[in-house]
Amino acid sequence: MIDPVATFGWPVSIALFVATAALFMAVYRVFVGPTIVDRVAAADAIGNTIVIILAIYAFAQDSQFLIDISLLLALISFIGTLAVAKYIDRGDVI
């Protein structure tokens, strides 16, 4: 079995750094966003960025469990974004 950390050490570190920087930028937009739509888009970006960070970390640790968790989080984030968008559009979710 290939050790991903030994093989891809610095590219994984750079990818995690870039994803973390993107996460902080999205968190800033959630707090400062001028409209609710900007805040919802930023919250969706936070969910997607966390999924990316989990996937990169799962690759670095060679963990299938973390891949499953990241897929579940992506599904929950998608459904949550749809629910919030429907609430903003119509005023109710159901």
**pTM, rounded to two decimals:** 0.82
Apex 27 CA angle, 71 and 60, nearest 5: 40
**pLDDT band at residue 6 under the 50/70/90 scheme:** low
Q: Do the Cβ atoms of 45 and 22 come closer than 8 Å?
A: yes
Conformation bin of residue 2: beta by default, left when phi > 0, alpha when psi is -120 to 50: beta
Average pLDDT taken over every residue of the chain = 87
Residues 50-76 have pLDDT tens digits of 999 999 989 888 889 999 999 999 999
Give residue 26's Cα distance to chain centre: 10
- Domain range annotation of the chain: 4-8+30-90
Q: Tell which residue, 40, 62, 66, has the closest CA to residue 52.
A: 66
